[in-house]
Structure 1
Amino acid sequence: MATSTYVLRLVKDVFSPHAVSKSLPDAFRILYCNSGDLAFEGGAALRPDEALYMRTGYALRAGTEGGELWRWEVGESAADPDLDLGEGIRSELVVGNPVPNVEKLEDWLIRCDSVLFPTGGTAVPHTHIGPGIRCMRNGKLTLSTDTKSQDYYPGDAWFEPGGEAVWANACTEECTTFIRVLLLPKDLKGKSSIRYLNEADRQKPKSQRYKSYVDELLSLK
């Protein structure tokens, strides 16, 4: 079996109040602030429900509230994730999966968005063109495939390889939101990655709403 050159990971960094991280090396990253008070060394803030794409290294400082950072990284499969950011910071590798179809990074883009379901919202059977990692922020989502069905709650994360049919049901008690990062062919910049199993579903009203944070081409330069 051929080995994959690249892996997509999600790491969670929990900052104690006033903790300062070590400077991380350059990498392909999406940084998302789930909660708290975080700022880059130099002053620029990263507020809750904000995300950005960073190619260069960085250090972060927490304010009086501390904070929780979700960082998605595209890296060499042989490299270990950085989990020691310094005193007062607890880091955890949540999900890490090979992305075997990604051979040349310059042929791909990285996208970060959120998907919000109203109470009782549903997603009809569909696929996505590229792989990605999702992480729940609010509510509860029951995600189904041809072989299994699983419930996800705030903080839970999962990998979807792309090409596998999935459908979903949100809870009826509150709105449900998850954050996702996808790797997609570069010609999908600004375009939807979803494909419906039943083409008639494309024209039907959808209950979910989307918020775009990042849609950037990957480049080695």
Structure 2
Amino acid sequence: MRALTLRLYEDLLPAGCPPVFLPATPRALYVVDGGLTLEGPDDGQWLTAGTARVSQDCTTLIGDQTDTRIWRWELTEASTPAAPALPSAPSTSTTLKLEADVALDPRFDWLMRCDEVGFPPGGVALTHVHQGPGIRICASGEISIETQGTRHTHAPGEAWFELGPAPVLAPTTEDTPTRFVRCFLLPRAVRSRSSIRYVRPEDADAPKVQTYRVFAERDIDLPA
């Protein structure tokens, strides 16, 4: 198994800040508020609030004339320390929301996916597993995660890690709709397919209330 670490940061880029340069590593970037342009070696893409990009190349962040807040997931070697700030960008601020060690089977090739899951009030994700690990963050509403004998409730801005093969039951608040954004790692054979599997046969056939929107996914090379 490859010893790697997945981290989720929240970055704040003030209006008009100079371009920010990020080194190459598998990463997903999701724009929470505002907007920015992402430039890679061969292309560029404008992202507005509620959109995301996945890449593993060196990336340039070019902010807008408004304040921009992004969630940034990065996969690195386990020995790579967390970065307390964006490189050479003193006008920005960075918060490490969560980090988790992940062990990926080297017999698989892997991809990184960034997507969004939404629930109506009182919706629940029935007991399930996934094909790989990932970090989620609540964007609105409230969700409880029951797994491995524990239960934790997450409000907007709070993140959690799911191992993948460990069963999870996820009820949400009855007061409002709930939405979370996630970045997770999956075998490439799962490309363009759902990664969820229900533990109990009766749940597999039960009506599902959650909705999904895949923002981006791409094949990645694991950090050396």
Instruction: Say whether residues 1:91 and 2:89 are aligned partners.
Output: no
Partner amino acid, structure 2, of 1:184: L
Residues 196 and 99 (structure 1), Cα distance of their counterparts in 2 relative to 1, 3 Å cut: same
Match of 2:71 in 1: 70
C-alpha distance after superposition, 1:170-192 (max 9, x if no partner): 11221100001111112111222
- Paired with 1:56 and 1:149, the residues of 2 have a C-alpha distance of 37
C-alpha distance after superposition, 1:125-146 (max 9, x if no partner): 1111210100111111122124
Match of 1:53 in 2: 54
Q: Confirm or deny: 8 A CA contact 2:26 2:221 kept in the other structure.
A: no
Bigger mean CA offset, 77-86 vs 187-196: 77-86
Match of 1:30 in 2: 28
Partner amino acid, structure 2, of 1:47: T
Shift in Å, 1:107? 1.0
Shift in Å, 1:76? 1.1
Match of 2:155 in 1: 153
Unpaired runs of at least 5, structure 2: none
Partner amino acid, structure 1, of 2:158: D
Q: Confirm or deny: 8 A CA contact 1:10 1:95 kept in the other structure.
A: yes
Q: Confirm or deny: 8 A CA contact 1:6 1:102 kept in the other structure.
A: no
Q: Confirm or deny: 8 A CA contact 2:36 2:64 kept in the other structure.
A: yes
Residues 210 and 23 (structure 1), Cα distance of their counterparts in 2 relative to 1, 3 Å cut: same
For residue 84 of structure 2, give the secondary structure of its aligned residue in structure 1. coil
Match of 1:128 in 2: 130
Match of 1:206 in 2: 208
Q: Confirm or deny: 8 A CA contact 2:147 2:169 kept in the other structure.
A: yes
Match of 2:38 in 1: 40
For residue 185 of structure 2, give the secondary structure of its aligned residue in structure 1. strand
Match of 1:187 in 2: 189
Shift in Å, 1:215? 2.4
Q: Confirm or deny: 8 A CA contact 2:54 2:113 kept in the other structure.
A: no
Specify which of 168, 171, 183 is matched with residue 169 of structure 1: 171
Match of 2:117 in 1: 115
For residue 23 of structure 1, give the secondary structure of its aligned residue in structure 2. strand
Identical amino acids, percent of aligned pairs: 33
Residues 43 and 129 (structure 1), Cα distance of their counterparts in 2 relative to 1, 3 Å cut: closer
Unpaired runs of at least 5, structure 1: none
Shift in Å, 1:5? 2.5
Partner amino acid, structure 2, of 1:29: R
CA RMSD of aligned residues (A): 2.0
Shift in Å, 1:43? 7.2
For residue 21 of structure 2, give the secondary structure of its aligned residue in structure 1. coil
Residues 22 and 146 (structure 1), Cα distance of their counterparts in 2 relative to 1, 3 Å cut: closer
Match of 1:138 in 2: 140
- Paired with 1:134 and 1:109, the residues of 2 have a C-alpha distance of 16
Bigger mean CA offset, 54-63 vs 158-167: 54-63
Partner amino acid, structure 2, of 1:121: G
In the superposition, the TM-score normalised over structure 2's length comes to 0.89
